[in-house]
Amino acid sequence: GAVVSQHPSWVICKSGTSVKIECRSLDFQATTMFWYRQFPKQSLMLMATSNEGSKATYEQGVEKDKFLINHASLTLSTLTVTSAHPEDSSFYICSATLGVSYGYTFGSGTRLTVV
Amino acid sequence: AQTVTQSQPEMSVQEAETVTLSCTYDTSESDYYLFWYKQPPSRQMILVIRQEAYKQQNATENRFSVNFQKAAKSFSLKISDSQLGDAAMYFCAYRGSDDKIIFGKGTRLHILP
């Protein structure tokens, strides 16, 4: 149980376009999901907390207008990178939890390359 | 603010030997959770082990065990009988009252055949 599916696994887009990444909890309901960004050979940096039915809360320094998060249902959260630029190229990972005693389950990640 | 520190960027261990990865953290909270996650080359994050701060007993999962020293704010991971498949990046993580997970910078573990 507690499977999180993330799609797409990789995407290449042109500078100035927008890209949407989906994160789904397959066998459980997740009122809260988290979005991380990971640069090569670095740790995961929390970008925002996605709350079902309400606005996401962003970490300091993360542009909420560039990284739009929508959590419209208990099983789906989306991250949209708007007007993407090469510096947005990175590995994005989502996570969700059944409850803290179960730990946090992570999606398989999305490698975004902006050209 | 909470912080997680992993002071060993890389470590190597001979296959079948034992290795310990270090982690320290800083928090003013008394109730929290600690985790070790493994990230292999596929980059999929895999939960290795978790520890509830209110439990004095150290968590164990097969070949993986932790040494949790709450007063010292230390949470090390011991891998026994190291296997080639254990080669990965290992992240120590903290979860506090706000449900957010904070990761350390990671330790890359190499297994020598």
For A8-41, write each residue's pLDDT tens digit: 999 999 999 999 999 999 988 888 899 999 998 8
Asked if B100's CB is within 8 angstroms of A104's CB, the reply is no
Question: Where is A22: in which H helix or E strand?
Answer: strand A19-25
> What is the tens place of the pLDDT at every residue in A49-95?
998 888 899 999 999 999 999 988 889 999 999 999 999 999 999 99
* CA-based nearest residue in chain B for residue A31: B99
Hey, which of A52-61, A69-78, B14-23, B40-49 has the most confident mean pLDDT? B14-23
Q: Is the dihedral of CA B23, B26, B28, B33 positive or negative?
A: negative
Phi, psi (deg, nearest 5) at residue A63: -80, 115
Q: Is the pLDDT of residue A98 over 80?
A: no
Report the alpha-carbon distance of residue B67 to residue B23 in Å, rounded: 10
Closest Cα of chain A to B111: distance in Å? 18
Please check whether residue A15 is in contact with residue B75, taking contact to mean a CB–CB distance below 8 angstroms: no
| Higher-confidence position of B56 and B21 | B21
Q: What is the pLDDT of residue A101?
A: 64
Query: B-contacting residues of A 16-35, CB under 8 Å?
Result: 32, 34
DSSP B21: E
Between residues B25 and A99, which one has the greater pLDDT? B25
Is any Cβ of chain B less than 8 angstroms from the Cβ of A10?
no
List strand residue ranges (DSSP E) for chain A, in order: 4-7, 10-13, 19-25, 32-38, 44-51, 57-58, 67-73, 76-81, 90-96, 105-106, 110-114
A67 shares contact with chain B (CB less than 8 Å): no
- Residue A107 CB coordination number (10 Å): 27
B86 has pLDDT over 90: yes
